[in-house]
Amino acid sequence: MRKNTLVLILSSLIFFILIPSISAQRFNPHLDWKEITTEHFQVIYQDSSRDVAVEAVSIAENILPEMEQFLRTTLGYQPVIVCIDNTDLPNGSADPLQGEIRIVISEPYDFSLGTRFRSWLRLVIAHELTHLLHTTIASEEIARWRELLGFVVLPGVMQPMWAWEGYAVYGEKKFGEGGRTDDTTYDMYLREIALRDGFLSPYLVGGYSFLDSWPGRLGCYVYGSSVCQYLADTYGEEKLQEISHIRGKSFAIYGFEKALKTSLGVGSQQLWERWKEEKKKEYQQQKFEIEKRPLTPITYLTNRGYYSRGVNISPDGKRMVYFLKHPYYLSGIRLLERDQKVETLVVKGTVIGKPSFSTDGSKLVYAKVTEELYSSWCDLYIYDFSRKKETKITRQARAFSPVFWGDRVLFLRRNTFPEGIFVLDPVSGREEKWYTFGRDFLPMDGVLNPEGTLLALSGWHHGFADIALLDLKDKTLHFVTSDRFADLSPSFSSDGRDLFFCSDRTSVYNLYAFQLTSGRLFQVSNVLLGLFEPVLNGNEIVCVGYHASGFDIGMIPLERTQWREVELNQKEIQPPPETEPPSITFSEKPYQPLKHLLPRYWLPLPLASFLCSVLSKSP
């Protein structure tokens, strides 16, 4: 009996020890994984991503001293940074309990993560490293308990989610050369909330479960970034440090609330009310300025909200397709028959960018995330309306923004170097590289003119989102815009003379038209919130509009007499400075999984918190 019990205990221990290893199988174990070790960090990466790993650890080493000085703390351990290149969906995460940062190195493909940054890698490292430092802060006595029990002793973890993410977004701005605090998209979210006085209570964006309505999980970022910025501007940046250190003295459930009152003299509700009043005044003034010109009326064609994107119209104007991502509906491409007002789900899955119709409107080509054992790349698919059949035409292509080009398909290949434009024969599967981009331009999406001679592209140009034209005959690239504004989602008029796109030139995303013959630029719309992804359809412009429930497909009239000419200032934007290499030499060796299996703590979080709160003498 004793022997069986001992075997059971040992088996259970082995099982729980191997849980991280089992979880790690989502990463391909057959790849050549390596490690870089510096004074403060360990970086795990696959050999093909070595350059990115070196850049990542260079950034981390360079900004760490400033971040530690800002929060008046030190990490006290070597975090692990895992550079992930198994998906085309950019993201990042931090795990204070494991002391690990995970970074998906793929570049953003739209405005969802904002456009106010010059380096995605620097921004995401600044964000996640702020999480680790912020949650590490603790009093000397609690820090001694951490030495005994491990890194489960983290009082900073017990704080509202809006503060958790608000501090990290503040770190983006301070150390990441940009960030969502100053981003036009996040400003749009807050403007809509303020103009209808629809602010949520701090308690609704403070828990570890997320809202069941828009903006959902995004809420803690939207509210947190703005409140933390207001706190720093009004009370002084040093108060962010002080609040964190007071919170770090205790495991009390309401420790963060007590820290606010001790440091600022107000609780979260009072802080919230003061912030709300300032935002309402700010956005009412902005509304007053916008309304000096007539507002553009928008008629919504869909009403589900959340993320309705990638709208396009068939050549005959009778069919509209768009992609919907929504917690209560299946994700996929939806087809709206304009005459019958009937909507159907024709393609399931996560579609990236704008689907493209064939010349006769019988087929649709699009990029969709393909889930495989160890990866989730974007591949190309064709949907045949007559056969109601979806066909995959690439495999692990990392393909974006496909368009029909005669009987072939033109598409972008992203997140590989060098990035380029490829031509694919969907029947034979034969693929040919058509154009190669330099390091100074990373394309996001593209669209053909009606003649098939020009490809309009939006992409990251020296760290800013610009519009460019690629002549497919002589393969020359010309920039239509070159400035610090975010210019996105190009689309041609039916005669090919006008190039439409959206831009935040007025601090609000509006639609613009660039006349290719004259080189003149016109502001087409004037809205309070934001319009995106214009597609011309006869005497109307179909687009994506933002409102209280998220993004929906809308329509505005094509009234050229209401267009307002604006100045187009071309500026030579210098590339962002390259990150200096670490000041110390670093070692590089094959990945050693066994040393990463050891636990960093010995008790579950609730028990450790209870022991520390009972035994600690700190208030």
How much is the mean pLDDT over the chain? Answer: 88
Residue 275 has which token pair?
A: 């912030």
Tell me which amino acid residue 397 is. Answer: A
Q: Give residue 229's pLDDT.
A: 96
Q: Give residue 240's pLDDT.
A: 94
* DSSP state, residue 507: S
- What is the β-pairing status of strands 431-436 and 420-424? antiparallel
Most confident of 111-125, 140-154, 502-516, 597-611: 502-516
User: Helices 219-235 and 161-175: crossing angle, nearest 10°?
Assistant: 70
Instruction: Assess whether pLDDT exceeds 50 at residue 15.
Output: no
Distance CA 613, CA 619 (A): 9
Residues 127-139 have a mean pLDDT of: 91
CATH superfamily ID and name for 299-566: TolB, C-terminal domain (2.120.10.30)
Residue 618's pLDDT band, with cuts at 50, 70 and 90, is very low
Q: What is the 3-state secondary structure (H, E, C) of 138-163?
A: CCHHHHHHHHHHECCCCHHHCCCHHH
Distance CA 246, CA 137 (A): 9
Alpha helices in 37-160 (DSSP H): 50-71, 120-136, 140-149
Distance CA 397, CA 64 (A): 36
Is there a contact between 508 and 188 (Cβ–Cβ < 8 Å)? yes
Beta sheet of 351-357, edge-to-edge order? 351-357, 363-371, 376-384, 389-392
Is there a contact between 499 and 487 (Cβ–Cβ < 8 Å)? no
Least confident interval from 71-80, 142-151, 243-252, 580-589:
580-589
Greatest CA span in the chain, whole angstroms? 90
Q: Give residue 575's pLDDT.
A: 67
- What residues have CB less than 8 Å from 598, skipping those under 6 apart? none
Q: Give residue 578's pLDDT.
A: 60
Residue 585's pLDDT band, with cuts at 50, 70 and 90, is low
Residue 583's pLDDT band, with cuts at 50, 70 and 90, is low
Instruction: Assess whether pLDDT exceeds 90 at residue 598.
Output: no
For the segment 344-371, what is each residue's pLDDT rounded down to a tens digit? Answer: 999 999 999 999 999 999 999 999 999 9
For the segment 422-450, what is each residue's pLDDT rounded down to a tens digit? Answer: 999 999 999 999 999 988 899 999 999 99
Instruction: Assess whether pLDDT exceeds 70 at residue 323.
Output: yes
Residue 603's pLDDT band, with cuts at 50, 70 and 90, is low
* DSSP state, residue 295: P
DSSP string, 420-487: EEEEE-TTT--EEEEEE--TTEEEEEEEE-TTSSEEEEEEEETTEEEEEEEETTTTEEEES--SSS-E
CATH for the 31-288+586-615 domain, from 2.60.40, 3.30.70, 1.10.3470, 1.10.390: 1.10.390
Please state whether 317 falls in left (phi above 0), alpha (psi between -120 and 50) or beta.
left
Please state whether 398 falls in left (phi above 0), alpha (psi between -120 and 50) or beta.
left
Give the SS3 label for residue 175: helix
Instruction: Assess whether pLDDT exceeds 90 at residue 150.
Output: no
Residue ranges per structural domain of the chain:
31-288+586-615, 299-566
Is there a contact between 297 and 525 (Cβ–Cβ < 8 Å)? no
Q: Which helix (H) or strand (E) holds 226?
A: helix 219-235
For the segment 26-59, what is each residue's pLDDT rounded down to a tens digit? Answer: 688 888 899 999 999 999 999 999 999 999 999 9
Please state whether 234 falls in left (phi above 0), alpha (psi between -120 and 50) or beta.
alpha
Residue 70 has which token pair?
A: 């800002």
* Pairwise pLDDT comparison (159 vs 21), residue with the higher score: 159
Is there a contact between 123 and 107 (Cβ–Cβ < 8 Å)? no
Distance CA 165, CA 6 (A): 44
Q: Give residue 208's pLDDT.
A: 63
Q: Give residue 21's pLDDT.
A: 37
Q: Give residue 463's pLDDT.
A: 84
Angle at 232 between CA 226 and CA 236, to 5 degrees: 165
* Pairwise pLDDT comparison (513 vs 158), residue with the higher score: 513
Neighbours of 12 (CB within 10 A): 10
For the segment 227-275, what is each residue's pLDDT rounded down to a tens digit? Answer: 999 999 999 999 999 999 999 888 888 889 999 999 999 999 999 999 9
- What residues have CB less than 8 Å from 80, skipping those under 6 apart? 41, 42, 43, 44, 98, 99, 100, 101, 596
Distance CA 368, CA 347 (A): 10
Residue 376 has which token pair?
A: 């989730």
What are the Cα distances from residue 204, in Å, to 16, 167, 169? Answer: 35, 18, 19
Instruction: Assess whether pLDDT exceeds 90 at residue 105.
Output: yes
Instruction: Assess whether pLDDT exceeds 80 at residue 616.
Output: no
Q: What whole-number percentage of the chain has pLDDT above 90? A: 70
pTM higher than 0.85 for the full model? yes
Provide the Cα torsion 399, 404, 406, 409; round to 10°.
10
Residue 586's pLDDT band, with cuts at 50, 70 and 90, is confident
Distance CA 99, CA 151 (A): 8
Instruction: Assess whether pLDDT exceeds 60 at residue 25.
Output: no
Provide the Cα torsion 131, 132, 134, 139; round to 10°.
160
Q: Give residue 381's pLDDT.
A: 98
Is there a contact between 407 and 414 (Cβ–Cβ < 8 Å)? no
Is there a contact between 556 and 541 (Cβ–Cβ < 8 Å)? yes
Provide the Cα torsion 353, 358, 361, 362; round to 10°.
-100
Distance CA 77, CA 596 (A): 13
Nearest one of 191, 276, 208, 256 to 548, comparing CA atoms: 191
Is there a contact between 555 and 569 (Cβ–Cβ < 8 Å)? no
Q: Give residue 576's pLDDT.
A: 64
Please state whether 13 falls in left (phi above 0), alpha (psi between -120 and 50) or beta.
alpha
Residue 574 has which token pair?
A: 């210098």
Instruction: Assess whether pLDDT exceeds 50 at residue 4.
Output: no
Q: Which contacts (CB < 8 Å, 24+ apart) does range 319-322 have?
A: 319/357, 319/361, 320/542, 320/553, 321/346, 321/355, 321/357, 321/364, 322/553
For the segment 527-554, what is each residue's pLDDT rounded down to a tens digit? Answer: 999 999 999 998 999 999 999 999 999 9
Tell me which amino acid residue 570 is. Answer: Q
In 303-396, beta strands by DSSP E: 307-313, 319-326, 329-337, 342-348, 351-357, 363-371, 376-384, 389-392
Instruction: Assess whether pLDDT exceeds 50 at residue 8.
Output: no
Instruction: Assess whether pLDDT exceeds 90 at residue 387.
Output: yes
Q: Give residue 380's pLDDT.
A: 98
Quote the radius of gyration of the chain (alpha carbons, Å): 26
Q: Give residue 596's pLDDT.
A: 75
Distance CA 353, CA 312 (A): 10
Residue 602's pLDDT band, with cuts at 50, 70 and 90, is low
